[in-house]
Amino acid sequence: MRYIIDSRYFDGTCLTSMSDDMHSDYGGETLEALREREKNPYLVAVSPVRMTLLVKRYTRALCKPFHEITEERYYELLECLPPARMQSDWFFVGEPYYRNLYALCFESDGRYFRAERPIRLSNAEIYRQIREHMEKVNLHPAIVKKASFVKYVNWYKKTVTYIPYYFEYGGKIYFLKNLATRTGSEFGDRRERNEMAALLRNLRGNRYEYCTFYSQKKDIFEFFDWLRKNKYTLEIQGDLFDFADDRSHVDFHGNVCEYSAVFHYRIYSRELFGHIINQLRTVKRYHAWHKRREIR
């Protein structure tokens, strides 16, 4: 038995299967014929063992952090079908999302949340995850400004003062961005202040786990959903991740080939970084610099 998939990514499905290892069960085509029909040279045949591993990885990718939903949506999901499981403050929607994953919804402090989780999770584990998520929701780290410094900037053709912005959490400080000020341009100073204010709002909205510097989608998981829905390809120039010297954060950046859309997220959470690795396995990637070296 073999399964035919795209070698660049796995989206939870296969194109076809080959019970005899040679011909499609649904049309009789060989692998080469399927590549030609689909105009996709990246199609490969994988074993059941490999397929099982890919499905496990994809299932982990679907187990994203909880996200907030409206009260109306919460009760729509509760009432659309009899819940698969429920307690007074949480329930699993009555139909599977993917294999053994179901939408888990809960209410806490008058707010409502949802995420896909295995239906067999114990009650103790569910309450642990809810508690940890609400701790993040109620997190309010202090914003720290460090001593300013000056630097000559060609753009302004003068020496500019910079104020480093950080936030403090768990006894550590995490760098956000240097605010440029006294640029000699009132418009430039105002733009810098507005950009910093927007970054701080974005950071708070993301529970201090990451910050979006620029992207087609401000929400990092909506970004991956957008890539998958449109089958877009991430263009990687050099390294996809740049780690801070002190490992306090990692920058995730690149471009979207078909859309020409650059993106840059700064990730502070180790847990979130693990989620991003899982998401990357579900989208296409193109190593631009590696390709250029091959052409040379």
Residue-level pLDDT at 224: 95
pLDDT at 71 over 90: yes
pLDDT at 188 over 90: no
DSSP state of 249: -
- Mean of pLDDT over the chain: 91
| Interaxial angle between packed helices 270-280 and 48-62, expressed in degrees from 0 to 180 and rounded to the nearest 10 | 130
Name 163's bridge partners.
Answer: 179
What's the rounded Cα separation, in Å, for the pair 8 and 282?
9
- Number of alpha helices (DSSP H) and beta strands (DSSP E) in the chain: 8, 18
Tokens of 149: 């410094």
**pLDDT tens across 244-279, in order?**
999 999 999 999 988 888 999 999 999 999 999 999
pLDDT at 143 over 50: yes
pLDDT at 117 over 50: yes
What's the rounded Cα separation, in Å, for the pair 186 and 275?
41
Residue-level pLDDT at 288: 62
